[in-house]
Amino acid sequence: MGTRIYECISRIAERIIDNKEYLTELDREIGDADHGVNMARGFQAVLEKVPQDSDDVGAVLKKTGMTLLSTVGGASGPLYGTAFMEAGKAVAGKERLEAADVPAILDAAIAGIQKRGKAAQGEKTMLDALIPALETYREKLESGSDLSEAMDAACAAARDGVEFTKTIRATKGRASYLGDRSIGHQDPGATSATLIMEAVRDFLRG
Amino acid sequence: MKKLINEVDNVVNEMLDGIAAAYPQHVRRLDGLDVLVRAGGSAGKVALISGGGSGHEPSHGGFVGKGMLDGAVAGAVFTSPTPDQVYEAIKAADGGKGVLLVIKNYTGDVMNFEMAADMAADEGIQVEKVVVADDVAVENSTWTTGRRGIAGTIFVHKIAGACAEVGGDLENVKRVAEKVIANVRSMGMSLSACTVPAAGKPSFELAEDEIEIGLGIHGEPGVNREKMGSADDICDKLLDKILAEGIYKAGDRIAVLVNGMGGTPLMELFIANRHIHEALTGKGLVIAKTIVGNYMTSLDMEGFSISLLKLDEKLEKLLNAPANTPAFVQA
């Protein structure tokens, strides 16, 4: 058993590794059939390299990001690497991960992905899952939902975002070369982002 | 899947050791890294570094040597190498005159190489980059990430490499590389998909009588799927799209690269080249140099690409300059 933040990260890693074939299969349709393989390799390294005994939430997220950056490769490596490193900065100094930290973490991760990938919502990327998730989370909190309800709604919004990516053509990344042929397929990156959200939700539920 | 491999996870590692063992006179592998650099180092000259996902052999490690590259970084199969690997390549290859990164235009490659360039610049190393985007199959518009970099990249390695070899400074070498990029266009097709070892099955399905036109070099589907035609018809189709760019006009001197994707016999590449020469000469173009072979492959894919480069006196001289690398030798 590691610390709470290590447990959370390891639940994310397990979720990605369990879905290796699925993510690769999605990428086979509109990309180059390696998203699951690359993500699983990266999160396997995360399980091995991230310290199990550190309570420093920011430092653990940062280490996760740096490990992904140096092991995933492709476009997902810099994007997820940057997302986790920026998320780590947003919660620097915290010693316990709380559901209330989710908006700050998501906000920082999204900003990092936007900056590194020069992408916006509606381009068939992981942002199409993450941005609606964050917006929904905030709306739910404002309208009086508790943290657990807000997280459920955020994950549902991310799932809807994945469904939405089926209806649009890709304008970023390798899928953009397909033009209209990318329509009808869901985005592997939006899918992996949603899997990560759901792993965090399940972890916070305990 | 039937492949001559050991462990799927070790393919890149074992391949790099194999290249280093085959060509100790040309290349040396950096300890613990997926990087090949020149055996004799690159002191006193501008260093050229390229790289990308593996599976395109001999690209890029096969072009490390005199007159071409100074370093090559290998990622996992069809996956861009990570910034730390590129950064180590920059540090090792830098001979004090700066480093030019030759990047193929893919989202991942550009991001990883740029992050590495930032890290190296922080250490005081002069780093510049050029991005090759020669594939005319992809529309160059705000609706895509831009054209892909494919086999035309070999011309950049050869010509910018020759410029660096004869003492060109970083600005010069970069300008020559950009000139090549502005004047090279390519397009490819395939008769079958390729099988990424870690995926274990073909990247897409093609019926017995179908071909994929305008595909990249990663087993990603092309822009359209058609019925199989003759070699001459297929060459015409690719050439029409390349010539529609309006770069190549009657009387121009050009270089032609007929590049195999890995699974196509040389016999078929030469059959294609025969008609390519006929067609281009028929349009009044003067073919100053032809290169036929497997240079930018896509694992075991059957297929090929055509690249045309418009030459001027300077580019032609650099293209014909000597080179001595594992995969490209020219006296």
Please say if the pLDDT value at position A1 is more than 70.
no
With 0.90 as the threshold, say if the pTM is over it: no
Q: Does B140 touch chain A (CB under 8 A)?
A: no
Percent of chain B predicted with pLDDT > 70: 98
Q: Note the pLDDT of residue B222.
A: 74
The residue ranking higher by pLDDT, B62 or B201, is: B62
Q: Note the pLDDT of residue A180.
A: 84
Q: Note the pLDDT of residue B204.
A: 80
Question: How near does any CA of chain B get to the CA of A176, in Å?
Answer: 5
Where exactly are the structural domains of chain B? 11-183, 184-319
Please say if the pLDDT value at position B119 is more than 70.
yes
Which residues have C-beta within 8 Å of that of residue B60, sequence separation ≥ 6?
Answer: B50, B51, B52, B69, B72, B73, B74, B157
d(CA A141, CA A203): 19
Q: Note the pLDDT of residue A167.
A: 95
> Annotated active-site positions of B, please?
56, 218
Q: Does B186 touch chain A (CB under 8 A)?
A: no
Give the one of A33, A79, A177 whose C-beta lies nearest to B148's C-beta: A177
User: A153: helix, coil or strand?
Assistant: helix
Q: Does B298 touch chain A (CB under 8 A)?
A: no
Which CATH code of 3.30.70.2860, 3.30.360.10, 3.40.50.10440, 2.60.40.1930 fits the domain covering B11-183? 3.40.50.10440
The chain B residue lying nearest A40, using CA atoms, is: B198
The pLDDT of B48-60, averaged and rounded, is: 97
Enter the CATH code of domain B184-319: 3.30.1180.20
How sure is the predictor about B53, in pLDDT bands with cuts at 50, 70 and 90?
Answer: very high
**Most B CBs within 10 Å: which of A20, A177, A181, A185, as the mutation test of the B interface?**
A177
Q: Which tens digit of pLDDT belongs to each residue from B237-281?
A: 999 999 999 999 999 999 999 999 999 999 999 999 999 999 999
Tokens linked to B56: 């395109």
**Most B CBs within 10 Å: which of A32, A71, A116, as the mutation test of the B interface?**
A32
Q: Does B148 touch chain A (CB under 8 A)?
A: yes
- In three-state form (DSSP H/G/I as H, E/B as E, the rest C), the secondary structure along chain B is CCCCCCCHHHHHHHHHHHHHHHCCCCEEECCCCCEEEECCCCCCCCEEEEEEEECCCCCCHHHECECCECEEEEEEECCCCCHHHHHHHHHHHCCCCCEEEEEECCHHHHHHHHHHHHHHHHCCCCEEEEEECCECCCCCCCCCCCCCCCCCHHHHHHHHHHHHHCCCCHHHHHHHHHHHHHHEEEEEEECCCCECCCCCCECCCCCCCEEEECCCCCCCCCCEEEECCCHHHHHHHHHHHHHCCCCCCCCCEEEEEEEECECCCHHHHHHHHHHHHHHHHHCCCEEEEEEEECCCCCCCECEEEEEEEECCHHHHHHHCCCEECCCCEEC
Give the one of A32, A41, A71 whose C-beta lies nearest to B220's C-beta: A32
The chain B residue lying nearest A42, using CA atoms, is: B82
Which residues have C-beta within 8 Å of that of residue A122, sequence separation ≥ 6?
Answer: A128, A168
Q: Note the pLDDT of residue A27.
A: 92
Highest mean pLDDT among A2-6, A178-182, B23-27: B23-27
Please say if the pLDDT value at position A28 is more than 90.
no
**∠ at Cα B304 (B302, B306), nearest 5°?**
175
Please say if the pLDDT value at position A206 is more than 90.
no
> Looking at the DSSP assignment, which residues form a beta bridge with residue B36?
B29, B72
The pLDDT of B224-231, averaged and rounded, is: 93
Q: Does B241 touch chain A (CB under 8 A)?
A: no
Q: Note the pLDDT of residue B143.
A: 59
Q: Note the pLDDT of residue B215.
A: 81
Say which range, A47-56, A134-143, B86-95, B204-213, has the weakest mean pLDDT: B204-213
Please say if the pLDDT value at position A151 is more than 80.
yes
Chains A, B: CB contacts within 8 A come to: 108
Q: Which residues of A touch B216 (CB under 8 A)?
A: 174, 177
Q: Does B196 touch chain A (CB under 8 A)?
A: yes
Q: Note the pLDDT of residue B138.
A: 79
d(CA A33, CA B198): 9
How sure is the predictor about B130, in pLDDT bands with cuts at 50, 70 and 90?
Answer: very high
d(CA B262, CA B99): 30
Q: Which residues of B touch A71 (CB under 8 A)?
A: 82
How sure is the predictor about A107, in pLDDT bands with cuts at 50, 70 and 90?
Answer: very high
Of B79, B221, B137, B147, nearest to A184 by C-alpha is B221
d(CA A202, CA B3): 40
The pLDDT of B279-293, averaged and rounded, is: 98
How sure is the predictor about A34, in pLDDT bands with cuts at 50, 70 and 90?
Answer: confident
**Domain housing A21:** 4-205
Q: Note the pLDDT of residue A181.
A: 83
Quick check: B270 and B304 in contact, CB under 8 A?
A: no
Q: Which tens digit of pLDDT belongs to each residue from B167-221?
A: 999 999 999 999 999 999 999 999 998 998 988 888 788 888 999 998 888 877 6
The pLDDT of A23-47, averaged and rounded, is: 92
Return mean pLDDT, chain B: 95
The pLDDT of A153-176, averaged and rounded, is: 93
Question: How near does any CA of chain B get to the CA of A69, in Å?
Answer: 7
Question: How near does any CA of chain A get to the CA of B116, in Å?
Answer: 11
Greatest Cα pair distance, chain A, in angstroms, is: 48
Return mean pLDDT, chain A: 94
Q: CA torsion B8→B9→B12→B18, rounded to 10°?
A: -70
The chain A residue lying nearest B138, using CA atoms, is: A177
A99: CATH? 1.25.40.340
Q: Which tens digit of pLDDT belongs to each residue from B153-176?
A: 999 999 999 999 999 999 999 999
Tokens linked to A74: 């492709």
Phi, psi of B277 (to 5 degrees): -60, -45
Please say if the pLDDT value at position A98 is more than 90.
no
Question: A75–B219: do the CB atoms touch at under 8 Å?
Answer: no
Phi, psi of B30 (to 5 degrees): -70, 135
Give the one of A41, A76, A177 whose C-beta lies nearest to B144's C-beta: A177
Give the one of B77, B138, B196 whose C-beta lies nearest to A177's C-beta: B138
Tokens linked to A125: 């990327």
* Residue B328, Ramachandran bin (φ over 0: left; ψ between -120 and 50: alpha; else beta): beta
Q: Domain total for chain A?
A: 1
